[in-house]
């Protein structure tokens, strides 16, 4: 069917690449390009011979638009799947525009020097992408990603109007370390140490970090504490789900994680303000990343399950209705299949599916779009087929 250029070769990319290789009919050819090309070569070595997908590799600094343009011109992909870091979103979008190539990512742009993530920077490309006749699919991971697809599906099939969405992200996995993050530590810590916020009655309500705590009993995991966080899909869902009154996002954290995080914050280790150390400027959070376990190394150690989904409340045929859509994923099963833990798996699989939707033309809408703006049905079908089957219930316990 076609060719994808995948940028980045970390935890999430590794899963997406395994999945592309399982799906050779669609991904006849992939080029894996990243800053450290040896990682791309090692993955190619592992996978070729097990797949019909032709794999090539390349070195690229995705902060440099010129390098990206040259690479895209050489590889001539049908789509670019951005699985590097949020800092590279805009340079990669610029290169896609210059070469008229479709673009897919899993996380919205964040400037490196400000811990602030919002869609405005990427939405500013809407007209340019439309004029160029190319599609940008934003946020094709799990959250954002599947949570947006779940919302579009619920609106299409279950409700006349959705009024409340609670997104619950539970990781019941245990990796045995006192403190480690399940995806890129720098991005993860920036996210969880930021102020919380939720959308209510047409505006944002801001909270202190981890101020709002709830307990929830998750199927497959059990009782967990979860905390309200700001999360990027709230911003797009607030625009794209008509009649919405409130959207909240909760993520579970264990006590050990929170105690370590507080301590690291208190001593200044999570700061992104540069400091001088022995004559060299360093950023404390980047130094912390260097001493923490690499999320990719957690795979063989992590046991337990994730349970991520959305609880919807709204109206159907004039009556109140509640609906919960969720996925349960097992860390050890993921490791057996693709050598990664479930957090990378639940992001990498939807990334492959998003690239497939755009490449096969099932989703073709020139412009810059969030995932809930597309027809959810083929994506929901693909989730069942490619390793993230979903479950539903009409009688969930609600979050107060
Ligand atoms: P990793 O740190 O494991 O991988 C990032 C990769 O990007 C590495 O291969 C890195 O190269 C490469 N990279 C970084 N900077 C550059 C650059 N300038 N040029 C080229 N390559 C570069 O991160 P993860 O795999 O954990 O996360 C990937 C993305 O997925 C992030 O944007 C994250 O926010 C997102 N994510 C989304 C989720 C969702 O549900 N939507 C959930 C989890 C993550 P090198 O090897 O040299 O460091």
pLDDT of residue 116: 75
Could you say which of 120, 138, 156 is where a domain stops?
A: 138
* Whether the Cβ atoms of residue 380 and residue 153 lie closer than 8 Å to each other: yes
Tell which atom from ligand 1 comes closest to the C-alpha of 183.
26
Q: Is 33 in the pocket of ligand 1 (CB under 6 A)?
A: no
Ligand 1 pocket, residue 184 CB under 6 Å: yes
- Do 48 and 107 belong to one domain? yes
> Rounded to the nearest whole angstrom, what is the distance from the C-alpha of residue 8 to the centroid of ligand 1?
6
- For residue 168 the two structure tokens come to 């619950």
Residue 121: inside a domain: yes
- Ligand 1 binding pocket includes 308 (Cβ within 6 Å): no
Model confidence band, residue 191 (pLDDT cutoffs 50, 70, 90)? confident
- Residue 379 forms part of a structural domain: no
Does one domain contain both 46 and 113? yes
Residues 366-393, mean pLDDT to the nearest whole number: 98
Atom of ligand 1 nearest to the CA of 145: 41
Checking if the pLDDT of 59 tops 80, the result is yes
* Residues 153 and 132 grouped into a single domain: no
132 and 191 part of one domain? no
In percent, the amount of the chain with pLDDT more than 70 equals 100
Same domain, 48 and 113: yes
Q: Which residue has the higher pLDDT, 68 or 187?
A: 68
**Candidate of 10, 81, 149, 329 to mutate for ligand 1, largest count of ligand atoms within 8 Å of Cβ:** 10
Dist. CA 268 → ligand 1 center (Å): 24
- Please give the Cα distance from 19 to 43 (Å, whole number): 13
Q: With bands split at pLDDT 50, 70 and 90, how would you rate the model's confidence at 250?
A: very high
pTM summary value: 0.95
- For the stretch 283-299, pLDDT in tens is 999 999 999 998 888 88
In terms of Cα–Cα distance, which of 1, 37, 97, 105 is closest to 360?
Answer: 1
How far is ligand 1, taken at its centre, from the CA of residue 215, in Å? 31
Mean pLDDT of 105-117: 86
How far apart are the C-alpha atoms of 184 and 286, rounded to whole Å? 11
What band does 182 get if pLDDT is binned at 50, 70 and 90? confident
Q: Which of 138, 171, 202 is the last residue of a domain?
A: 138
Q: Is there a single domain that holds both residue 77 and residue 159?
A: no
Q: Tell me the CA–centroid distance for residue 83 and ligand 1, in Å.
A: 5
Average model confidence (pLDDT) for the chain?
96
86 pocket-lining for ligand 1 (C-beta < 6 Å): yes
- Tell me the C-alpha distance between 398 and 356, whole Å: 34
- CA–CA separation, 103 and 351 (whole Å): 11
371 lines ligand 1 (CB under 6 A): no
Q: Is the Cβ atom of 190 under 6 angstroms away from ligand 1?
A: no
Structure tokens at 89: 């979103």
| pLDDT band (50, 70, 90) for residue 112 | confident
Contact 117, 124 (CB under 8 A): no
Phi, psi of 22 (to 5 degrees): -75, -15
% residues pLDDT > 90 (the chain) = 90
329 touches ligand 1 (CB under 6 Å): no
> Are 199 and 253 members of one domain?
yes
Q: Is the C-beta atom of 167 inside 6 A of ligand 1?
A: no
Is residue 332 domain-resident?
yes
Taking the centre of ligand 1 as the mean of its atom positions, its distance from the CA of residue 82, in whole angstroms, is 9
- What is the rounded CA–CA span in Å between residue 171 and residue 324? 17
Q: Identify the band that residue 356 occupies on the pLDDT scale cut at 50, 70 and 90.
A: very high
Q: With respect to residue 14, please indicate whether it lies within any of the assigned structural domains.
A: yes
Residue 251 beta carbon below 6 angstroms from any ligand 1 atom: no
* 334 and 224 share one domain: yes
Determine the pLDDT at residue 296: 81
How far, in Å, is the centroid of ligand 1 from the Cα of 84? 4
Atom of ligand 1 minimally distant from the CA of 294: 3
Radius of gyration in angstroms for the set of CA atoms belonging to the chain, rounded to a whole number: 20
Does residue 375 sit within a domain? no
- Residue 187 CB less than 6 A away from ligand 1: yes
**Residue 25 located in a structural domain:** yes
Boundary residue ending a domain (81, 111, 138) = 138
Token pair listed for 18:
């395994």
What is the CATH number for 101? 3.40.50.720
Does 111 share its domain with 185?
Answer: no
Predicted confidence (pLDDT) per residue in 13-52, tens digit = 999 999 999 999 999 999 999 999 999 999 999 999 999 9
Q: List phi, psi (to 5°) of 200.
A: -145, 130
Output the CA–CA distances (angstroms, integers) from residue 226 to 12, 202, 276, 381, in the order listed: 24, 24, 37, 29
Q: How many CB atoms lie within 10 A of CB 141?
A: 27
Is residue 377 situated within a structural domain?
A: no
Looking at the fold, whether 122 and 201 belong to one and the same domain comes out as no
Does ligand 1 have an atom closer than 6 angstroms to the CB of 8?
yes
For ligand 1, whether the C-beta of 107 sits within 6 Å is: yes
Token pair recorded at residue 282? 């360093």
Ranges assigned E (strand) in 35-185: 54-59, 79-82, 102-105, 135-138, 161-171
In the chain, the number of structural domains is 2
- At 184, which CATH number? 3.30.360.10
Residue 227 pLDDT greater than 80, yes or no: yes
> Is the domain of 193 the same as that of 66?
no
Q: Is residue 302 part of a domain?
A: yes
If one compares 188 and 243, the residue with the highest pLDDT of the two is: 243
Average pLDDT over residues 122-149: 98
Whether residue 175 is found in the same domain as residue 238:
yes
Domain extent, residue 259, equals: 146-340+387-393
């Amino acid at each position: 069917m076609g060719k994808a250029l995948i940028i980045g070769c970390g935890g999430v990319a590794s899963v997406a690449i395994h999945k592309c290789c399982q799906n050779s009919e669609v991904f006849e050819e992939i080029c894996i390009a990243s800053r450290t090309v040896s990682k791309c070569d090692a993955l190619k070595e592992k996978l070729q011979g097990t797949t019909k997908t032709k794999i090539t590799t390349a070195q690229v600094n995705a902060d440099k638009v010129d390098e990206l343009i040259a690479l895209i011109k050489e590889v001539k992909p049908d789509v670019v799947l951005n699985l590097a870091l949020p800092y590279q979103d805009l340079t990669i979008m610029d290169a896609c525009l210059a070469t008229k190539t479709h673009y897919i990512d899993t996380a919205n742009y964040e400037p490196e020097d400000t811990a602030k993530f919002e869609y405005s920077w990427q939405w500013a490309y809407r007209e340019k992408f439309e004029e160029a006749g190319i599609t940008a699919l934003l946020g094709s991971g799990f959250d954002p990603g599947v949570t947006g697809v779940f919302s579009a599906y619920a609106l299409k099939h279950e409700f006349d109007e959705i009024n409340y969405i609670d997104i619950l992200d539970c990781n019941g996995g245990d990796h045995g370390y006192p403190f480690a993050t399940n995806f890129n530590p720098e991005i993860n810590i920036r996210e969880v140490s930021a102020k919380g916020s939720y959308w209510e009655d047409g505006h944002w309500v801001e909270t202190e970090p981890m101020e709002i705590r709830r307990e929830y009993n998750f199927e497959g995991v059990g009782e967990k504490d979860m905390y309200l966080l700001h999360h990027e899909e709230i911003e797009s869902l607030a625009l794209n789900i008509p009649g919405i009154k409130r959207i909240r996002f909760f993520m579970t954290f264990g006590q050990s994680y929170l105690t370590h995080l507080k301590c690291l914050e208190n001593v200044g280790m999570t700061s992104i303000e540069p400091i001088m150390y022995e004559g060299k400027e360093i950023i404390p959070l980047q130094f912390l990343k260097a001493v923490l376990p690499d999320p990719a190394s957690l795979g063989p150690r992590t046991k337990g399950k994730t349970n991520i989904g959305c609880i919807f409340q709204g109206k159907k045929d004039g009556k109140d209705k509640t609906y919960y859509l969720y996925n349960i994923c097992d860390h050890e099963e993921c490791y057996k299949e693709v050598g990664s833990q479930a957090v990378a798996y639940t992001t990498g699989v939807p990334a492959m599916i998003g690239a497939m939707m755009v490449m096969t033309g099932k989703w073709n809408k020139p412009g810059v779009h969030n995932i809930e703006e597309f027809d959810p049905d083929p994506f929901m079908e693909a989730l069942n087929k490619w390793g993230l089957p979903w479950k539903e219930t009409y009688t969930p316990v609600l979050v107060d």
